[in-house]
Amino acid sequence: MKKPAVFLDRDGVITVERGYAISSIDELEIYSYAEECVEKIKALGYLTIIVTNQSAVAKGLYTEEELKKMNQAVLKQTGVDALYYCPHHPQGIVPGYSKVCSCRKPGTGMIDKACSEYDIDLSRSFMVGDRACDILLGQNAGIKTVLLNSGYGVKGLEEECNPDIIMGDLRDFTGYLEKCS
C-alpha cells in the first residue's frame, strides 16, 4: 500500500540556515526539535524524506565526500527515512558538477527518485521548505506545499510563489499534521 511522504528541505527546515557559511560537519547545526518532529510525522504514517540542493559542491566550497558526512549526521540525528541531494549548479566551477540537471530544485528529479525507491502516494504528500524553489518543486510534483519562516521564509523568497500553507517552523507543521489526522 502506498504511503504519503513529507518531503523536507534540509537547510532552514531541519538544520539552521547559514547560506554558504557551512563548509564542514562541525558547522552543521540541527534544530533541537527536528528529531522529535520527524518521529511524530513518521508516527502519523508518513515517510520523511529530505530533498536538498547543495550547490556548494559545484561551487568548490566543499567536496561531495564532505557533504556525504554532513548528510550522514543529519540522517543519524533526525531519523529521517531518506535523504536525496543535488550537488549541481549551472554556474559551478567544479567539472562534473557544473551543469543543468533534473535533480536541482525546482526540478522533480529527487522526488522522482524517491518515488522509484519507495511506494509513495503523492496525492497525500507534502513538500516543506523555506524557499521559493522548494514550493515550486512541490507544485511541479503536484503535492501540497508548506513554506516555513524558520529559514529564509516569506521575507527571503528569491522569486514569487504561492505556497498552500505558511507556518513558523517544523513544529508548527507537525502540529498541523497531528490535528488533521
Give catalytic residue positions: 9, 11
Place of cell 540525528: 77
Q: 155: pLDDT confidence band, cut at 50, 70 and 90?
A: confident
Task: Return d(Cα 30, Cα 54) in angstroms, integer.
Answer: 16
Closest CA to 90 of 101, 79, 82, 76: 101
Instruction: Look at residue 92 and tell me whether its pLDDT is greater than 90.
Output: yes
pTM of the model: 0.96
What's the CATH number where 121 sits? Answer: 3.40.50.1000
DSSP H helical ranges for 33-157: 34-43, 64-78, 109-117, 132-141
Which range marks the domain in which residue 144 is found? 5-180
106-139: pLDDT as tens digits: 999 999 999 999 999 999 999 999 999 999 999 9
Angle of CA points 3, 45, 177, to nearest 5°: 110
Q: Are 46 and 4 in contact (CB under 8 A)?
A: yes
* Domain total in the chain: 1
Mean per-residue pLDDT for 56-74?
Answer: 95
> What does DSSP assign to residue 117?
H
- Tell me what pLDDT residue 1 has: 87
Task: Return d(Cα 146, Cα 134) in angstroms, integer.
Answer: 9
